[in-house]
Amino acid sequence: MIKLAAHLEINFGKGVSFGERWKAAKRGGFRGCEFVWRNADLSEAVELQKTAPLAVSCLGGTTGGVAGARPVLVLPEDRERLAKDAEAAVAYAGTLSCSNLIMVAGSSIPGWSLEKHRQEAVASLRYIAPILEAAGVTALIEPLNSKVDHKGAYCDTAAEGLRIVQLAESPNVKLLYDAYHMQIMGEDHSGVIRANHALIGYYHLAKVPGRTEPIGGEIDYDALLEVIGETGYDGFIGLEYKPSGEYSTAFERLGSTYPAYM
């Protein structure tokens, strides 16, 4: 059965410790969570999973948007570093019984064609596929909207994300379908999901416009959740939103609106 997962970073404001965010998600009725693995001490997460049990549905942070602290998926010079980070990420994930890592394709490189970006992204994924497959962990390629939040993003449509997934030719590379990003890019959610559900490994939700909790707005999430369920998907769906008010109030609203998925 589909279950909603809290995002332990974006669902909270500043000044709330990782441990309190985890416990607040548990108190809020969630059975799963996601977060950026680089930002949380593994030993603390292990202890929290024992004392306030939550499944870790996926982990972000393995790749970044621009060259710098994190390797960029499309940069060939980052490929060795990506492999090392993938090894660290799958080890972290395995300790928490998590089987998903979010990866973004990065910002467009000036002078590169769309095909060049795609070629390099696929080459990087094929390079780390043995690491993923040996660990039983899936890389989730997340297209980001390039109109509002991530101007300059290379992979900004479901179609491009799906091309990368197909060309990677690994069962451990799938698409992360973020309904917020794809609504901004004008996607036909039901059509894309029904036609490509076998290639989709995870979902994110947030309200459009505003990127607050997914209640109201342009997307009929009751209907969309039904469509996702009809495909046979029965995993977690991440709530990657910024609360419209206090995080605890947002959790209460979500519990009241989607009791069947908490």
Any idea which residues carry the catalytic annotation?
Answer: 142, 240
The pair of structure tokens assigned to 168 is 């990677």
Residue 255 backbone zone (phi > 0: left; psi -120 to 50: alpha; other: beta) = alpha
Query: Cis bond leading into 53, ω under 30°?
Result: no
Q: Which residues of 53-86 are buried (b: 16+ CB within 10 A; e: fewer)?
A: ebbbbbbbbbbbbeeeebbbbbbeebbeebbebb
Rounded Cα gap, residues 214 and 205, in angstroms: 6
Residue 57 · residue 5 · CB < 8 Å: yes
Residue 82 · residue 128 · CB < 8 Å: yes
CA angle 45-213-254, nearest 5°?
80
CA 118 to chain centre: 20
